[in-house]
Amino acid sequence: MPSANDLLTVATTAAKAAGAYLRSVERRDPAAWTPKGRADWATDVDRTSEAIISRILREATPDSRIVGEELSPDVVTEGLVWVVDPLDGTTNFLHGYPSYAVSIAAAQGGVLEAAAVLHVPLDRMTTATRGGGAYEGATRLAVSTIGAPEHALIGTGFPYREFARLEPYLDQLSRVVLGATGVRRPGSAAIDLADVAAGRFDGFWEQRLSTWDIAAGILLVREAGGRVTDFGGRDLGIEHSEVVAGNQPIHRWLLEVLQDHA
């Protein structure tokens, strides 16, 4: 089987190719948006980015499988599996808001081995390999050292599909806002988790995310010394789940704030 470093090379190659494509295309008129649900869109841009990534991954690892919203949405863990989001933050892209990413993770037997998140507008690649650390370029990353919630900047994501979750989310939000120094919602979970790994965010939570939104980010945060769990404190794998991430003390604090109000 390919090593984690070999898998990372393939992932970064695919992410860079997709990122170059995304930077080359213009925003699409709303008439070209395809609704996946309320306030949830797909376009030919998402699909072309998927095709670019899939070609590179399959040429490099022909026996692998790919999990992604349009590619193959069923979660699988046997063998070598790529977990791909070709455009995380589609709504941001469609509006020209500069926060969208390509996210690619590789897992072997359900264990995350390599991850790459490319912040497309900034052309900033965040990577990790299992046991090898997380990096931006040559800089090794570490989660922040802020341990007091009143000093913490927290990322989040609003419910945008299951609106029955909105009221409990607003309760969570009010509690976090009252305890932290600030809360931000940029609109790309892949970037949010990369920001936790790099210490730009001290923590992050969202009620429900798909595995292609978070698989790469999970490894980034773990390799930077942080934790990523569900609201019950269970470490996450390749799965759809709620997410709580952060450095150790802020992760614990978020769990305390969120658990009784999930």
Residues 12 and 123 in one domain: yes
Residues 177 and 209 in one domain: yes
Residues 10 and 132 in one domain: yes
pLDDT at 1: 80
Write 169-174 long-range contacts (CB < 8 A, 24+).
169/207, 171/261, 172/205, 172/207, 172/257, 172/258, 172/261, 172/262
pLDDT at 251: 98
CATH code at position 185: 3.40.190.80
pLDDT at 39: 46
Domain limit, last residue, from 140, 166, 183: 140
Series of mean pLDDT values for 10-residue runs along the chain (262 residues): 96 98 80 52 81 97 91 80 95 92 97 98 98 97 98 93 81 96 97 98 96 97 98 95 97 92 52
Q: Where on the phi/psi map is residue 68: left (φ > 0), alpha (ψ -120 to 50), or beta? A: beta
Residues 206 and 252 in one domain: yes
Show Cβ contacts of residue 139 under 8 Å, excluding neighbours closer than 6 positions.
none
Residues 135 and 254 in one domain: no
Residues 199 and 159 in one domain: yes
d(CA 78, CA 81): 7
pLDDT at 164: 75
Residues 62 and 108 in one domain: yes
Residue 137 per-residue DSSP state:
T
pLDDT at 32: 58
| Coil, helix or strand at residue 41 | strand
pLDDT at 43: 76
Residues 131 and 165 in one domain: no
Residues 128 and 166 in one domain: no
**Number of structural domains, the chain?**
2
Token pair belonging to 235: 């470490």
pLDDT at 30: 66
CATH code at position 113: 3.30.540.10
Residues 169 and 99 in one domain: no
pLDDT at 101: 98
pLDDT at 54: 97
Domain limit, last residue, from 87, 110, 140: 140
User: To 10 degrees, the CA torsion angle through 86, 90, 93, 94?
Assistant: 130
pLDDT at 261: 54
How, if at all, do strands 34-37 and 182-184 pair? unpaired
Let me know: does 48 contact 102? Beta carbons within 8 Å.
no
Which is nearest to 212 in space by CA: 77, 65, 105? 105
Residues 10 and 133 in one domain: yes
Residues 11 and 103 in one domain: yes
Domain interval for residue 226: 149-259
Domain limit, last residue, from 140, 160, 184: 140
pLDDT at 250: 98
d(CA 250, CA 252): 5
| Coil, helix or strand at residue 206 | strand
Token pair belonging to 15: 């992410």
d(CA 50, CA 57): 10
